[in-house]
């Protein structure tokens, strides 16, 4: 496998760096599912995409070349460009998730202890808990009031904002405290240290007084969705600026490149192109905004109806579809070689990584892609001069993971995992190679043209 930085022209390098500046802005300014989808819809509208609900209300028919989006509770989205061929011949689908590991505030999060105010949290997704200690943190989310008003929360990103943190024990006293002993109930966010005038719980009440000045009452936090995320922007990594250090690259690196590849193509595709951005992947894809919901299928059913097709056309379309489950994979880490099989791992700066299967021991929970589909993708990538690698994620019994691939495969379509390799996956700050980010964009753009 060649390294993408080798023998590269200055013009090609400039394209990579320019593309990644926009990508860094995207992940820096959109750290929750709602923020990602709001920005994605804005990008789509600028390219002429129309809300599916408008088409339904106005009883508009749909024709080839139409560009449509549908949003589910602000946290899941489908972006569709109608192709020249009948949809019965299948869709070209790229699906990524926009949720990332984080901490969520509980319904009654504010409490005090030892004359300090803290926020009680519940971690979301697979994390190493110790990595979240002694870091600057920000609060992002929404508070939904009974009268229907929605208050957006974004505290900790502006240079003049306060930040938050979870305290860590000093090394002088931590001889008997191992990282494995850090449990979920210890992930309490330090949020205040000035007392209010009340006789009891004065430090807690001072926090609620500040929230009240923002039109947020204590009971309003019951109907809130506030996420604790690392504060700060994505940054160039390395003296050569070849890499990116940023929060939420799993899986917003694939979400951004998948959507950008669709929006940047001005031509009408042969087969209908679909970009799917979903929530809840990090906790099993459950819930109304996860891939296990019927939202995606319902959207396609509405499109099929507006095209004037019988219901059976959608069933045929799904079974004839091709899909890339665009999710990141583990890049080989020279600091931790033992869990990896060096001959079958993904490496940074060696292109988009295809995983024939994921899962864990015995391929449990995986989608195992068909070799005929893989051969078709190899030809497509080679013809488009895309650098790619076929990989696994660690040694057979070292662990493993899953994506939305197996859920989409239930429709009978061909599905394979394809994404960007990362270091520090699921840590507050993850590492990608700029070359891989841009190569993924090129690969997804080529995939939408697959016939």
What is the pLDDT at residue 140? Answer: 98
Contact by Cβ (8 Å): 393, 422: no
Angle made by CA atoms 362, 368, 369, in degrees to the nearest 5 = 160
From residue 424, how far is each of 22, 34, 251, 283, 308 by CA, in Å? 22, 24, 13, 19, 48
Contact by Cβ (8 Å): 416, 356: yes
Tokens at 397, concatenated: 């019994």
What is the rounded average pLDDT of the residues 39-48?
Answer: 98
Q: Whole-angstrom Cα distance, residue 127 to residue 291?
A: 21
Nearest CA among 276, 269, 268, 272 for reference residue 251: 276
- Label residues 264-290 b or e (16+ Cβ within 10 Å = b): ebeeebbbbbbbbbbbbbbeebeeebb
Q: Whole-angstrom Cα distance, residue 5 to residue 13?
A: 8
Helix (H) or strand (E) holding 445: helix 434-447
Q: Whole-angstrom Cα distance, residue 355 to residue 332?
A: 14
* pLDDT band at residue 414 under the 50/70/90 scheme: very high
Class of residue 345 by CB neighbours under 10 A (exposed 0-12, middle 13-18, buried 19+):
buried
Is there a cis peptide before residue 251, judged by omega within 30 degrees of 0?
yes
Question: Which residue ranges make up each domain of the chain?
Answer: 10-100+247-447, 102-230
Tokens at 254, concatenated: 């694939």
Q: Whole-angstrom Cα distance, residue 291 to residue 98?
A: 12
Q: Whole-angstrom Cα distance, residue 102 to residue 127?
A: 8
* pLDDT band at residue 403 under the 50/70/90 scheme: very high
Q: Whole-angstrom Cα distance, residue 235 to residue 218?
A: 36
pTM score, whole prediction: 0.96
Contact by Cβ (8 Å): 388, 351: yes
What is the pLDDT at residue 194? Answer: 96
**Superfamily assignment of 102-230 in CATH?**
Aminopeptidase i, Domain 2 (2.30.250.10)
Nearest CA among 333, 296, 338 for reference residue 318: 296
Bridge partners (DSSP) of residue 160 are none
* pLDDT band at residue 2 under the 50/70/90 scheme: confident
Say whether pLDDT at 360 is over 90: no
Token pair 């549908």 is at which residue? 70
Average pLDDT taken over every residue of the chain: 95
Pairing type for strands 76-81 and 272-278 reads antiparallel
Q: What is the pLDDT of residues 153-171, one digit of tens each?
A: 999 999 999 999 999 999 9
Contact by Cβ (8 Å): 103, 187: yes
Say whether pLDDT at 1 is over 80: no
Lowest mean pLDDT among 12-26, 67-81, 219-233, 337-351: 337-351
Cα 145 to chain centroid distance, Å, stands at 27
Cα 101 to chain centroid distance, Å, stands at 9
Contact by Cβ (8 Å): 60, 51: no
* pLDDT band at residue 400 under the 50/70/90 scheme: confident
Q: What is the pLDDT of residues 207-220, one digit of tens each?
A: 999 999 999 999 99
Q: What is the pLDDT of residues 93-138, one digit of tens each?
A: 999 999 999 999 999 999 999 999 999 999 999 999 999 999 999 9
Cα 170 to chain centroid distance, Å, stands at 34
Tell me the percentage of the chain whose pLDDT exceeds 90: 90
What is the pLDDT at residue 361? Answer: 81
3-state secondary structure string across 319-350: HCCEEEECCCEEECCCCCCCCCCHHHCECCCC
Cα 347 to chain centroid distance, Å, stands at 21
**Annotation: CATH topology of 10-100+247-447:** Aminopeptidase (3.40.630)
Q: Could you count the other beta carbons within 10 Å of the beta carbon of residue 63?
A: 10
* pLDDT band at residue 309 under the 50/70/90 scheme: very high
Say whether pLDDT at 399 is over 80: no
SS3 at position 131: helix
Pairing type for strands 243-246 and 430-433 reads antiparallel
What is the pLDDT at residue 175? Answer: 85
Q: Whole-angstrom Cα distance, residue 430 to residue 238?
A: 14
* pLDDT band at residue 334 under the 50/70/90 scheme: very high
Return phi, psi of residue 441, to 5°. -55, -45
What is the rounded average pLDDT of the residues 335-352?
Answer: 94
Lowest mean pLDDT among 208-222, 270-284, 354-368, 371-385: 354-368
């Amino acid at each position: 496998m060649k390294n993408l930085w080798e023998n590269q022209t200055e013009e090609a390098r400039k394209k990579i760096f320019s593309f990644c500046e926009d990508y860094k802005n995207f992940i820096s300014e959109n750290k929750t599912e709602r923020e990602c989808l709001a920005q994605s819809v804005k990008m789509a509208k600028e390219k002429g995409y129309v809300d599916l609900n408008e088409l339904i209300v106005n009883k508009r028919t749909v024709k080839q070349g139409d560009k449509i989006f549908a949003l589910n509770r602000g946290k899941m989205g489908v972006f569709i460009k109608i192709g020249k061929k009948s949809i019965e011949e299948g869709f070209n689908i790229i699906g990524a998730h926009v949720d990332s590991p984080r901490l969520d505030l509980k319904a009654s999060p504010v409490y005090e202890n030892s004359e300090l105010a803290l926020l009680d949290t519940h971690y979301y997704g697979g994390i190493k808990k110790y990595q979240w200690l002694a870091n600057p943190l920000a609060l992002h989310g929404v508070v939904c009031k009974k009268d229907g008003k929605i208050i957006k929360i974004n505290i900790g990103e502006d240079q003049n904002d306060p930040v938050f943190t979870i305290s860590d024990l000093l090394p002088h006293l931590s001889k008997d405290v191992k990282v494995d002993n850090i449990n979920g109930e210890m992930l309490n966010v330090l949020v205040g240290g000035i007392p209010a005038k009340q006789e009891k719980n004065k430090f807690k009440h001072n926090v609620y007084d500040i929230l009240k000045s923002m039109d947020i009452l204590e009971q309003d936090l019951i109907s809130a969705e506030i996420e604790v995320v690392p504060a700060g922007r994505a940054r160039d990594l390395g003296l050569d600026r070849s890499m990116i250090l940023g929060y939420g690259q799993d899986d917003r690196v694939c979400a951004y490149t998948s959507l950008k590849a669709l929006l940047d193509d001005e031509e009408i595709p042969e087969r209908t192109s679909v970009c799917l951005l979903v929530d809840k992947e990090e906790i099993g894809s459950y819930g109304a905004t996860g891939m296990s919901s019927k939202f995606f299928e319902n959207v396609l059913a509405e499109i099929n109806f507006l095209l004037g097709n019988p219901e059976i056309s959608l069933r045929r379309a799904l079974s004839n579809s091709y899909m890339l489950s665009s999710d990141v994979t583990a890049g080989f880490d020279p600091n931790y070689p033992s869990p990896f099989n060096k001959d079958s791992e993904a490496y940074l700066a060696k292109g988009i990584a295809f995983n024939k299967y994921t899962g864990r021991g015995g391929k449990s929970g995986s989608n195992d892609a068909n070799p005929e589909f893989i051969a078709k993708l190899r030809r497509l990538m080679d013809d488009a001069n895309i650098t790619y690698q076929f990989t696994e994620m660690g040694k057979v019994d070292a662990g493993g993971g899953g994506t939305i691939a197996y859920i989409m495969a239930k429709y009978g379509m061909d599905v394979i995992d394809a994404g960007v390799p990362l270091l520090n996956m699921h840590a507050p700050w993850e590492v990608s190679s700029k070359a891989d980010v841009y190569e993924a964009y090129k690969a997804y753009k080529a995939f939408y043209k697959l016939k």
